Amino acid sequence: MKAANRPAAGIDPDAALQMTTAEAAVAALIAHGIDTVYALPGVHNDHLFDALFKAQNLGAQSRMRTVHARHEQGAAYMALGAALATGRPQVYSVVPGPGLLNSAAALLTAYGMNAPVLALIGQIPQAAIGRGLGHLHEIRDQAGIISRLVDFSARIRAPQEAAPLVAAALRAMGTGRPGPAVLECAMDVWGLSAPVAAFAPPAPAPPPPLIDEDAVRDAARRLAAARRPLIVAGGGAQDAGAEVAELSRLLQAPVVAYRRGRGVLDSRDPLSVTLPLGRELWGEADVVLGVGTRMLYGLTHWGVDEELAIIRVDADPLEPERFARPAVALIGDAAPILRALLAALPEHPRPSRRAELEQRQAKMRRRLERLAPQIAFLEAIRAELPEDGIFVDEVTQIGFAARLLLPVHKPRTFLSPGYQDNLGWGFATALGAQHARPDVPVLSISGDGGFLFTSNELATAMRHRIPLTAIVFSDGAFGNVRRTQEEQFGNRLIASDLANPDFVRYAESFGAAAERARDAQELRAALKRAFKRRDVPTVIEVPVGPMPSPWEFIFMRPVRGAR
Ligand SMILES: Cc1ncc(C[n+]2csc(CCOP(=O)(O)OP(=O)(O)O)c2C)c(N)n1
Ligand SMILES: [Mg+2]
């Protein structure tokens, strides 16, 4: 029996057992292969935590771990990081009202990133929901609020509903466009006890959507005839790295990636390009193949015209037509569709574009030398972070530069928040990634602004012995905002200077290892030490000055269409 389909140890799958709703929900999660709940408890969820207590003592194969955080956003970001690093669904649980809202930025980010995160949210007593009596943590229309944040949500109203709703939520999270889901449960319902089928077998996965063979042939014909094909890879291509690489080789098509698509094609391949060179190539392309990407930059910044045929591969049937109807839309998971496309493409060798792309990469690289201070730090990071180590990006100067310049070698090793670009997501998300992937080093980078959003979770890293390495680039400012005020608002500086703690002493006060690195060389040495520590987190403070702006390489003028 596969690990994911196993009933909890000692449970006869066919017997009905007296169980609480909470116990049934936990047994169902375990049966679906979930092994961790990131959580912050409270009275609404007491029965759930009691069920989690009992589940931590089950046999090694069916044990559930509970990892408690110090703020609900920390718990939710940790689940998000674990989901992104593993590609598997992850769970968090918090109290209703303020607990839900505290976790909402992470839930929003999970939605934007199509990340399979299941939230178990408490509720006031079932009979009081909707009456506005002022129960603890009551919030008006919690179910309505949730339903605007995620695509699948439901309330568990009885013990017998727990396992089927867990199964339905997990299935919805992995069907079509993946994404988060929420299950609510009233505080008195978690504790209700009834005979429950001990183990609801996971609902069979719906058959994958049939691949539209006509559309595949059409796409293959267009790509085969293209003179300057280009591939744009997004987050939806992360599990199709081999297929994208093969298509790129066959077509000699460069692959553009920015935030979520980094690592799909190894940066060492000269056909692997980031945003600024991607824009040049977009201007020359006759056929663009978008794989698991909204293609926002191409479609809305760089421009489209009649000469450009667009082919979209997307798990979400609504996505390809959002901006404009593409020449061809292929709906479903990227890997099987690209395999069908590869099978339909005639094998006719094209002249190599390797030398051309090497030369153009070198030229672009010379332009990007403007970002020299950032590049020096990124070189130190790449030199020490192993190929399969995970880099967690932030909304900070080094992060912006990393999206353009950090070589990324493997899928799921560059975690970036996508279009939410929400400051402060990084540290707690990285903590979840490191918890779920103890086998590889995870590196979080933050500015001094973003770090203090969730740095309280250093206490969680200590409590659960998570050996994350975190760099804090400290410029005493919301540097990105300050630069805008300097350059565009007559140096009228407001709300952008920061009073900081001593980050080394701050981290040490939690029991973490900490040091200060004054330049790229010192950072490299500090990283070498940090990645060897596998028992405590490490914080490295890097004091920095203002850095050159990356924005000319990100928000760029159109290269085609109505300019
Ligand atoms: C949730 C959220 N709030 C506010 C912002 C706006 N914002 C973008 S960058 C930035 C400043 C970042 O400061 P810091 O983390 O110190 O990085 P630095 O630019 O100094 O390197 C702010 C406030 C945002 N992107 N997300
Ligand atoms: Mg800063």
Q: In what order do the strands lie in the sheet with 255-256?
A: 272-273, 255-256, 229-233, 287-291, 309-314, 328-331
Ligand 1, atom 23: nearest CA belongs to which residue?
478
Distance 400 CA to ligand 2 centre (A): 13
Q: Which ligand is nearest to the CA of 449?
A: 1
Q: Which ligand is nearest to the CA of 551?
A: 1
Ligand 1, atom 4: nearest CA belongs to which residue?
423
Torsion on CA atoms 144, 149, 153, 155, rounded to nearest 10: -40
Ligand 1, atom 6: nearest CA belongs to which residue?
423
Q: Is residue 196 within 8 Å of residue 24, measured between CB atoms?
A: yes
Element (H, E) at 543: strand 538-543
Alpha-carbon distances of 361 from 138, 251, 270, 352, rounded to whole Å: 56, 19, 7, 15
Centroid of chain to Cα 548: 27
- Partner residues linked to 513 by β-bridges: 538
Q: Which atom of ligand 1 is nearest to the CA of 498?
A: 16
Task: Check residue 104 and give its pLDDT.
Answer: 98
Q: Which atom of ligand 1 is nearest to the CA of 446?
A: 15
Other Cβ atoms closer than 10 A to 184: 23
- SS3 state at 82: helix
Q: Is residue 413 within 8 Å of residue 391, measured between CB atoms?
A: yes
Centroid of chain to Cα 236: 11
Distance 493 CA to ligand 1 centre (A): 15
Element (H, E) at 105: helix 104-112
Taking alpha carbons only, the member of 429, 338, 444 closest to residue 389 is 444
- SS3 state at 149: helix
Q: Which ligand is nearest to the CA of 395?
A: 1
Q: Which atom of ligand 1 is nearest to the CA of 547?
A: 21
pLDDT tens-digit profile, the chain (563 residues): 333 444 454 455 567 899 999 999 999 999 999 999 999 999 999 999 999 999 998 877 779 999 999 999 999 999 999 999 999 999 999 999 999 999 999 999 999 999 999 999 999 999 999 999 999 999 999 999 999 999 999 999 999 999 999 999 999 999 999 999 999 999 999 999 999 986 666 666 778 779 999 999 999 999 999 999 999 999 999 999 999 999 999 999 999 999 999 999 999 999 999 999 999 999 999 999 999 999 999 999 999 999 999 999 999 999 999 999 999 999 999 999 999 999 999 888 899 999 999 999 999 999 999 999 999 999 999 999 999 999 999 999 999 999 999 999 999 999 999 999 999 999 999 999 999 999 999 999 999 999 999 999 999 999 999 999 999 999 999 999 999 999 999 999 999 999 999 999 999 999 999 999 999 999 999 999 999 999 999 999 999 999 999 999 999 999 999 75
At a CB cut-off of 8 Å and minimum separation 6, what does 286 contact?
226, 227, 228, 229, 307, 308, 309
Q: Which atom of ligand 1 is nearest to the CA of 474?
A: 16
Q: Which atom of ligand 1 is nearest to the CA of 394?
A: 15
Distance 472 CA to ligand 2 centre (A): 9
Mutation test of ligand 1: which of 425, 478, 482, 500 has the most ligand atoms closer than 8 Å to its C-beta? 478
The answer to whether the Cα torsion of 83, 88, 89, 91 is positive or negative is negative
At a CB cut-off of 8 Å and minimum separation 6, what does 19 contact?
27, 159, 193, 194, 195, 196, 198
The set of protein residues with a Cβ atom below 6 angstroms from ligand 1 is 395-397, 421-424, 447-450, 473, 475, 477-481
Using the 8-state DSSP alphabet, how is residue 469 labeled?
A: E
Q: What angle do CA 472, 477, 480 make, to 5 degrees?
A: 90
Q: Which ligand is nearest to the CA of 483?
A: 1
Residue type, position 467, single letter: P
pTM of the model: 0.96
Alpha-carbon distances of 196 from 27, 31, 51, 385, rounded to whole Å: 11, 15, 15, 48
The answer to whether the Cα torsion of 369, 373, 374, 378 is positive or negative is positive
Q: Could you tell me what percentage of the chain is helix, strand and coil, using 3-state DSSP and rounding each to the nearest 5?
A: 45, 15, 40
CA 426 – CA 424 distance, rounded (Å): 6
The answer to whether the Cα torsion of 549, 550, 554, 559 is positive or negative is positive
CA 294 – CA 398 distance, rounded (Å): 24
Distance 371 CA to ligand 2 centre (A): 16
Residues near ion ligand 2 (Cβ under 5 Å): 447-449, 475, 477, 479
Ligand 1, atom 12: nearest CA belongs to which residue?
478
CA 240 – CA 333 distance, rounded (Å): 9
Q: Which atom of ligand 1 is nearest to the CA of 398?
A: 21
CA 453 – CA 430 distance, rounded (Å): 13
Distance 321 CA to ligand 2 centre (A): 39
